Amino acid sequence: MSVAVKFSIPYGKQTISQDDIDAVTEVMSAPLLTTGPKAKSFEEAVASYCGAKYCVAVSNGTAALHLASLALLKKDDLVLTTPNSFLATSNAILYVGAKPIFVDIMREGNIDLDLCEKELQKNPKIKAIYAVSFSGKMVNQEKLKALKEKYGVIILEDNAHAIGATKDGVKAGSCKNSDCSIFSFHPVKNMTTGEGGAITTNSKELYEKLLMLRNHGMVKTADMAPWEYEMRALGFNYRITDFQCAFGISQLQKIDGFLEKRRAIAKRYHDSFENTSIKPLYDFDEGSAYHLFVVRVPYHDKRELYEKLIAKGVGVQLHYIPINKQPYYKELGYGDEYTPVMDKYYEEALSLPIYPLLSVGEQEYVIMCLKDML
Ligand SMILES: Cc1ncc(COP(=O)(O)O)c(C=O)c1O
């Protein structure tokens, strides 16, 4: 007879304390609930934390990707991207009538930039690369820089998993080697605003375009009458509220502490799985923001393993199903790309619980359950 498990450890969870609640409550009685002073302060705080010149905060990470794509791409543009991401990354390319080209990943989970270079050599018409910092590990920055310089491609970094990450001395969101970077502040991410997102960039022109597109394509200038505005592009309402931004400011003040805890959890997983058949996705990386902790497991039946762990209250997850193999993408003609590393990854990968509030005892329980089954 099986014993019902009365608790469950999720794979990810937000960390909210009284100061976050107080920050949100304060705005609820302020005159402006949306696009007020907190939105501006949040944007300045994100830009300053990342070391970028500009930031535009928006209603979610998908909106950030959509606005950036509207600003950077044109219809029929070809964009290299990864199959190992949430749907939103390549959907944003489709939203603007451009065409994703799925490139295989490296063993560490990120897009293979050497393969990107081969694609760029084959087809000089390729316009952009959308690179995801999968699990919180940024892509090789030297290589990104080299591709940008040599081929003049537009580069967007999807840093939805990676606020606070660094790589080769470059901070996520600083856009040192890219045109722009996006973040998501969904509750499962490293910091949250409930729903929310942001785009950072060092280009004033791009920044102004994004501001306009976030607000219906409307522009108001100093020489206009007070009631006047002009619509100059087909924009959207992707604004974020002031109470979300107050929440974001409060969370951002604590992000380094959150990251420290995530890294300590990742290190404990590494130490515990040493000399076992459970292989972390990459060697312990101080620079990773460890939004996810992915292991490769040699289990013959992943579904069975998954279901057994869930039954024991261990909230494992799978990130990600290859996007190009989704039915919608298959209808568009995708799905047969040569991506052996991604295919193998999908067979073996499992995301384990990781979030600042995960206790040592809970983590030990996760480790014990996994070891027992393997
Ligand atoms: C890599 C990546 N990009 C973009 C997004 C979209 O962010 P949001 O859920 O805030 O729209 C997500 C969300 O899961 C993501 O994981």
Q: Please report, for the domain that includes residue 130, its CATH number.
A: 3.40.640.10
The verdict on 297 and 207 lying in the same domain is: no
The verdict on 235 and 259 lying in the same domain is: no
Confidence of residue 4 (pLDDT cuts 50, 70, 90): low
Decide which of 135 and 5 is more confident: 135
How far CA 47 is from CA of 98, 239, 269, in Å, comes to 28, 17, 32
The verdict on 26 and 60 lying in the same domain is: yes
Identify the sign of the CA torsion 358, 82, 331, 238: positive
The verdict on 198 and 325 lying in the same domain is: no
Which of 11, 69, 86, 158 should be mutated for ligand 1, with most atoms under 8 A from CB? Answer: 86
Q: Which atom of ligand 1 is nearest to the CA of 60?
A: 10
b/e per residue, 334-372, with b = 16+ CB within 10 A?
bbeeebebbeebbeebbbbbbbbebeeebbebbbebbee
Residues with CB under 6 Å of ligand 1 are: 60-62, 65, 85-86, 88-89, 132, 158, 160-161, 184, 186, 197
Q: What is the pLDDT, as a whole number, of residue 6? A: 58
| pLDDT per position as a tens digit, 220-278 | 999 999 999 999 999 999 999 999 999 999 999 999 999 999 999 999 999 999 999 99
The average pLDDT across 310-319 equals 96
Q: Reply yes or no on whether the pLDDT at 358 is more than 60.
A: yes
Q: Reply yes or no on whether the pLDDT at 10 is more than 70.
A: yes
Q: What is the pLDDT, as a whole number, of residue 287? A: 98
Q: Which domain holds residue 194?
A: 18-252
The verdict on 225 and 328 lying in the same domain is: no
Task: Tell me what percent of the residues of the chain surpass a pLDDT of 90.
Answer: 96
Q: Reply yes or no on whether the pLDDT at 1 is more than 50.
A: no
The verdict on 311 and 368 lying in the same domain is: yes
CATH of residue 362's domain is: 3.90.1150.10
The average pLDDT across 323-339 equals 98
In a domain, 6, yes or no: no
Residue 196 Cα, ligand 1 centroid: separation in angstroms? 10
Output the residue whose Cα is nearest ligand 1's atom 13.
Answer: 86
Q: What is the pLDDT, as a whole number, of residue 108? A: 97
| pLDDT per position as a tens digit, 151-206 | 999 999 999 999 999 999 999 999 999 999 999 999 999 999 999 999 999 999 99
The verdict on 247 and 136 lying in the same domain is: yes
Tally of domains within the chain: 2
Average per-residue pLDDT in the chain? 96
